[in-house]
Chains A and B, each alone.
Chain A
Amino acid sequence: MITRFVSDADLAALTAELVAAGTRVIAPVRDPADPARADYRPVARLEEADLSAPLPRRSLKEAFLPATEVLLRYRQHKQTVELAEVPTAFPPAVILGARPCDAAGVEVLDRVMGWDLQDELWFGRRAATTLVARACPGEDASCFCTAVGGGPEGTRGADVVLVPADGGHLALAATAKGEAFLAAHPARFADAGGRDGAAALAAFGAPARARAEQALPALPAGFGQALAGAFDHAAWKGIALRCHGCGACTAVCPTCHCFDIVDEHDGHDHGARRRSWDFCQTAKFTLHASGHNPRPTQTERYRQRVMHKFSIYPARFDAVLCTGCGRCSRTCSAGMDLPEILGQLVAAVGRAGADERGDAR
């Protein structure tokens, strides 16, 4: 990997240059009302951001899949309906200081967004955005990125990864886009003086990796197949007792991506077709027009959430739909804890089928 060095002053200067050139820069910003919390927000200057801020409350997915967005606008005339599509090309953006679990989530979602048709809005934003992640010092005991194949030193989904170094950061290009980004700003990304970026990255992530590995061991090979064969296992029965069926965990999740599309009137003859996040944990999500609900209680709804993430999506897209960020555990008002539940499921259904398939999904 190409490694450069960027000093704190140069990173601030780079941010200012990017913003001045019309690039949207999004970075972790502490909440002024509660500095123990942070969000990914557009910034005008690097001083507004804090690259060492706590894990942002909401994930990075909304930089590419906003909570709500207009797909088209319509106006009814007497005989016709006039449609106005929204642009699918976006101004350039740089995400500065994403957590590796958030960057990985974006790559996980590329797979479903580009599956049978290319989601123009998702990939429009993806094409316009350079994703600069920052090696992770770990957040707290709810982190389990290493159990799902990630890590605090992970580069998945990132174009560039920053590693804290004396007076600034080492910048490692993880993709061709990242290489181009470093090359486009030669005055800011200086020679790394022979320092080994990959070794620095691994060393910086090691303590957080050790803690995450302790929180939950890597999911066993064949876990997804084992789950698929355990749809009616007794282990599901008690799994969601405390779950209220609110959508908070899915809202903050970097990989939950279900959406609903509705037409909303702004007046008697015009309005907009919007797509907005939807939440599989509510009863309405699968309610049929007939009144039948194939997932009648929270047991089935929570099972679906686990199945989709750890069995269905891996079987279809060759990636676990979870990056181990732990936001679901931190957000849940009822104390549902996904790593704990995964541990229980591993114990209950284990690795059936692992020998035949032998893969890590």
Chain B
Amino acid sequence: MTALQELAGQLLSEGAVGLVIGWEEGPRGARPAFVTRPEDAGRLIFDPRCVHNLAAYLHPRRRHLPRSGRTAVVVKGCDARSVAGLVRECQVKREDLVVIGVRCGGVVRDPARGAGLTAESVSDRCPGCEAREPGRADHLVGELPPAPPASTRRADALAALRRMSPAERAAFWDGHLSRCIRCYACREVCPNCSCVTCRADVARPQWIDPSPTVRGNTAWQMMRVLHQAGRCADCLECERACPADIPLGLLGKHLLDSVAERFDHRPTDDPGVAAPLGAYRTDDEEEFIL
């Protein structure tokens, strides 16, 4: 029995939590697991296939989960930033959670393609990760694995995008967004997408075209991404969930870099640090306001 399984079993049998959200072995690799009985804690696993950001399940709109008492959630360092985001934005109370941190050596992009971590298989968010030990977790389990393999895939793609002329960049995104079918998987898997009614679902007024044309798709992604400014934890679940393989992570990462540059803010697992979109500062430059 691993330390993770032992801890989960103990929390459940002591009644400290009513539900543990972790990962288990599924038909196509690791997948989210929901454990309510101590005898089922042995199902829990953690390995590089555990790419899923489980913080999404903490959101109050997930009303079908069997919550009773506190909920324990297993997080990697990157996922801990999403938990902090939910606490920061008052979507969930920290005292209702037991956060179990796992030390992480990187995760793969596709849990169905095996646990081997290579420059090719590793998730774009992992190379150079500085959050491999979720320090603010209530419990921290596992040994620290070696650092994730280096990869410049995302940096190269972003650099290429930034070198493009505006017309070239528009053509690049038109090409990708022409495949979007507006299933909203990017929204539904996102721990940050917490609006009770998404603007995309509002029909009066119709802010953006609901049918999947490049015009409406572009408007949708611009709106979605800009609402993530300074909030996105860079978990890349939007990109992984997209059935049209649109490189949404590039939008998120560019925004992340812009916010870091303009507001000196990076996503953090400290819910006490206010994000720019939710903070008022008199020294904001505001030079774009006419």
Contacts and interface: CB of A to CB of B under 8 A. Distances in A.
A296 B31 contact: no
A276 B210 contact: yes
Interface stretch (A7-15, A115-123, A329-337): A329-337
Contact of A298 (B64, B182, B206): B64
A241 B211 contact: no
Interface string B184-196: 1111110000000
A262 to B, nearest CB: 5
A247 B28 CA distance: 19
B28 A246 contact: no
Contacts, number: 117
Interface string A57-90: 1100000000110000000000000000000000
Interface of B: 26-34, 52, 56-57, 61-66, 111-112, 181-189, 201, 206, 209-213, 216, 237, 240-243, 245
A95 B56 CA distance: 40
A133 interface: no
Given A297-B64, A334-B32, A334-B189, A246 B212 contact: no
A297 B211 CA distance: 25
Given A252-B243, A299-B64, A241 B34 contact: yes
Contacts of A238: 34, 66
Given A241-B65, A244-B185, 4 more contacts: A34-B245, A242-B32, A248-B243, A252-B243
A19 to B, nearest CB: 22
Given A240-B64, A244-B241, A274-B211, A335 B26 contact: yes
Contacts of A276: 182, 210-212
A322 B60 CA distance: 32
Nearest to A250: B183
Contacts of B64: 240-241, 297-299
B198 to A, nearest CB: 8
Contacts of A101: none
A279 interface: yes
Nearest to A58: B243
26 contacts: A58-B243, A68-B213, A240-B64, A241-B32, A242-B33, A242-B34, A244-B185, A246-B188, A246-B241, A247-B184, A247-B185, A262-B210, A279-B183, A279-B184, A282-B188, A296-B63, A297-B64, A299-B64, A330-B28, A330-B112, A331-B243, A333-B52, A334-B32, A334-B52, A335-B29, A337-B26
A15 to B, nearest CB: 25
Nearest to A279: B183
A297 B63 contact: yes
A340 interface: yes
Contacts of A335: 26-32, 52, 111
B59 to A, nearest CB: 10
A248 B183 contact: yes
A277 interface: yes
Contact of A333 (B27, B185, B210, B211): B185
Given A279-B183, A335-B26, A246 B189 contact: yes
A333 B28 contact: no
Interface string A231-273: 0000001101110111110111000000010101000000000
Contact of B27 (A141, A241, A246, A248): A141
B29 A246 contact: no
Contacts of B237: 333
Interface residues on A, range: 35 or more
A238 B237 CA distance: 23
A264 B211 CA distance: 8
A57 B183 contact: no
B108 to A, nearest CB: 13
A333 B189 contact: yes
Given A241-B34, A334-B31, A335-B29, A277 B209 contact: no
A284 interface: yes
A105 B34 CA distance: 34
A244 B209 CA distance: 24
Given A251-B181, A282-B184, A298-B64, A244 B56 contact: yes
A266 to B, nearest CB: 9
A335 B31 CA distance: 5
Contacts of A37: 245
A244 B189 contact: yes
A142 interface: yes
Contacts of B65: 241
A335 B212 CA distance: 26
Given A142-B28, A262-B210, A329-B27, A57 B245 contact: yes
Interface in A326-351: 329-331, 333-335, 337, 339-340
Given A67-B212, A241-B34, A298-B62, A333 B183 contact: no
A57 B243 contact: yes
A69 to B, nearest CB: 9
Given A276-B211, A330-B28, A246 B112 contact: no
A191 to B, nearest CB: 43
A260 B243 contact: no
